[in-house]
């Protein structure tokens, strides 16, 4: 468990040679820490193992998992594409010098302003979610006398085994148009064919997140390839790109079985080769991993204060963050592993719920976990917090957002810790 650069020496935890306890002295807690080694090796694994003989492979980093300028720089260094789901994401990416032609714009309810912004900034690919959006986009492109490469998002009706809030391809999902709704597909294809400004390159699907089983992706590949081939033939329309989305799971709990990026990508690439061998229409396959690139790289450090014993029997270990920096336990019942960075070898024999400082009983970091004897000032490390923690953080109870540091050979501050004065920024 833990990022690649983590090392235990005696009772202490180190990341790439930096003692974690010392880092908090400089940067204070709560503190998000990202391991550069882990991020780079995840990207390199995708580039090495997502490869086949019968398709060009393209990797799009799903920036909703974690988006700060320094990370944009790393993504760009590897020439990955990157997705965005709002004008805000596009803005941060562009301001961080990410090439607009390598951006892929997603979203189930893109506003007129957002579509305009995307067109004006020459975003490479827009993934159109629905017929209404298609009409809006055509109107904008016609008015601006410009053309746009698009994919169309489909719902393939696949029930992946993951939390219901992060399933995205059941028949009732809000994302995309159903591939089984022949009427809407016909309307979409005829509208696109009649338009001179829409260049449909293919279809997109994303079946959910934190998926460990290859079977769900296999079903997706089978359905999507068949469908795309059928539509291409039926409408005599060239559809060279298929985007399979992201969703590759990571390990959060000790006992959780997880497929490595290498194994998952080898399975996926092999299946793609099998189905694309006889298919000369689809030339390029895109995937959109987010969590698996940044999730395992992250840890969050908190300062512990005390274990509060309740009359009812539960012991609460209080830390100085909570649902504001990690909403996932409250939102998805997500479970995280944790350790005390200055007591790595000590016996864990006290059962506690680790909780934060927000005025909510659901403000939980980890339920039912054994920890060693706690002294005021001990530092807790929570593993695998690199994805969907910082990006989903809030200022509830006016807690300040923690800093994010990137630890490689050197330390880079990816995002500064908020100051009290930041809380008044919008009121002035
Ligand atoms: N592509 C699309 C269209 C997506 O909607 C997503 C995630 C991804 C790619 C990247 O999925 P990943 O590889 O990161 O699983 N907040 C939730 C996860 C929401 C995922 C939303 N879409 C969580 O904390 O578990």
168 SS3 class? coil
Give the predicted TM-score (pTM) of the model.
Answer: 0.97
Beta bridge partners of 124: none
For tokens 């305009």, the residue is 116
Please tell me the residue having the least CA distance from ligand 1 atom 7.
209
Q: What is the pLDDT of residues 274-326, one digit of tens each?
A: 999 988 899 999 999 999 999 999 999 999 999 999 999 999 999 999 999 99
Which atom of ligand 1 has the smallest separation from the CA of 210?
15
Asked whether 2 lines ligand 1 (CB < 6 A), one says no
Model confidence at 166, in pLDDT bands (50, 70, 90)? Answer: low
To test ligand 1's pocket by mutation, which of 290, 332, 334 has the most ligand atoms within 8 angstroms of CB? 290
Region 372-384: what's the mean pLDDT?
98
Which atom of ligand 1 has the smallest separation from the CA of 209?
15
Report d(CA 100, CA 294) in Å as an integer.
Answer: 22
Region 322-338: what's the mean pLDDT?
98
Kindly tell me if the per-residue pLDDT of 170 is higher than 80: no
Is 141 among the catalytic positions? no
Report d(CA 394, CA 366) in Å as an integer.
Answer: 19
Q: What is the pLDDT of residue 160?
A: 75
Query: Among 116, 163, 159, 120, which Cα is nearest to 140's?
Result: 116
Q: Dmax of the chain from CA atoms?
A: 72
Kindly tell me if the per-residue pLDDT of 7 is higher than 80: yes
Q: What is the pLDDT of residue 138?
A: 98
Distance from residue 291's CA to the centre of ligand 1 (Å):
7
To test ligand 1's pocket by mutation, which of 42, 84, 247 has the most ligand atoms within 8 angstroms of CB? 247
Domains and their CATH numbers in the chain: 6-35+297-427 (2.40.37.10), 50-294 (3.20.20.10)
Kindly tell me if the per-residue pLDDT of 162 is higher than 80: no
Kindly tell me if the per-residue pLDDT of 163 is higher than 70: no
Asked whether 169 lines ligand 1 (CB < 6 A), one says no
Torsion angle defined by CA atoms of residues 139, 109, 208 and 103, in that order, rounded to the nearest 10 degrees = 60
Asked whether 155 lines ligand 1 (CB < 6 A), one says no
Which of 123-137, 161-175, 187-201 shows the lowest mean pLDDT across its residues?
Answer: 161-175
Model confidence at 59, in pLDDT bands (50, 70, 90)? Answer: very high
Asked whether 206 lines ligand 1 (CB < 6 A), one says yes
Kindly tell me if the per-residue pLDDT of 169 is higher than 70: no
Region 158-187: what's the mean pLDDT?
83
Strand order in the sheet with 12-15: 6-9, 12-15, 18-19
Asked whether 62 lines ligand 1 (CB < 6 A), one says yes
Model confidence at 168, in pLDDT bands (50, 70, 90)? Answer: low
Model confidence at 167, in pLDDT bands (50, 70, 90)? Answer: low
Distance from residue 164's CA to the centre of ligand 1 (Å):
13
Distance from residue 428's CA to the centre of ligand 1 (Å):
35
Region 355-361: what's the mean pLDDT?
97
Which atom of ligand 1 has the smallest separation from the CA of 211?
15
Report d(CA 85, CA 392) in Å as an integer.
Answer: 14
CB atoms within 10 A of CB 350: 14
Q: What is the pLDDT of residues 207-220, one digit of tens each?
A: 999 999 999 999 99
């Amino acid at each position: 468990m833990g990022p690649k650069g983590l090392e235990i020496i005696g009772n202490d935890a180190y990341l790439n040679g930096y003692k974690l306890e010392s880092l908090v002295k400089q940067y204070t807690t709560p503190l998000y820490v990202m391991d550069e080694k882990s991020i780079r090796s995840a990207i390199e694994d995708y580039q090495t193992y997502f490869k086949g003989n019968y398709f060009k492979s393209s990797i799009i980093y799903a920036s909703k998992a974690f988006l700060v300028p320094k990370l944009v720089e790393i993504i760009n260094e590897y020439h990955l594409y990157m997705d965005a789901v709002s004008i805000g994401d596009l803005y941060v990416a562009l301001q961080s010098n990410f090439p607009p032609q390598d951006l892929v714009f997603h979203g189930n309810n893109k506003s007129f302003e957002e579509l305009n912004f995307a067109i004006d900034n020459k975003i490479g690919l827009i993934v159109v979610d629905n017929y209404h959006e298609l009409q809006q986009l055509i109107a904008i492109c016609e008015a601006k006398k410009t053309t746009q490469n698009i994919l169309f998002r489909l719902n393939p009706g696949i029930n992946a085994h993951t939390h219901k809030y992060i399933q995205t391809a059941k028949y009732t999902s809000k994302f995309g148009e159903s591939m089984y709704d022949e009427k809407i597909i016909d309307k979409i294809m005829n509208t696109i064919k009649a338009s001179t400004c829409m260049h449909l390159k293919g279809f997109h699907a994303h079946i959910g997140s934190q998926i460990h089983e290859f079977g769900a992706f296999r079903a997706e590949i089978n359905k999507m390839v068949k469908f795309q081939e059928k539509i291409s033939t039926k409408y005599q329309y060239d559809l060279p790109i298929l985007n399979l989305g992201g969703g590759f799971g990571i390990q959060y709990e000790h006992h959780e079985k997880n497929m490595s990026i290498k194994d998952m990508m080898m399975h996926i690439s092999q299946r793609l080769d099998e189905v694309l061998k006889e298919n000369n229409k689809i030339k390029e396959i895109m995937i959109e991993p987010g969590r698996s690139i940044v999730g395992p790289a992250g840890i969050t450090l908190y300062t512990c204060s005390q274990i509060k014993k309740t009359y009812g029997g539960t012991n609460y270990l209080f830390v100085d963050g909570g649902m504001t920096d990690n909403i996932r336990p409250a939102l998805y019942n997500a479970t995280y592993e944790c350790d005390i960075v200055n007591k790595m070898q000590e016996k864990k024999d006290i059962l506690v719920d680790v909780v934060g400082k927000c005025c909510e009983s659901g403000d939980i970091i980890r339920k039912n976990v054994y920890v060693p004897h706690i002294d005021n000032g001990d530092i807790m490390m929570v593993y695998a917090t690199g994805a969907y923690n910082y990006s989903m953080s809030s200022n509830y109870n006016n807690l300040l957002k923690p800093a994010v540091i990137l630890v490689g050979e050197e330390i880079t501050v990816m995002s500064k810790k908020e100051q009290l004065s930041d809380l008044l920024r919008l009121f002035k």
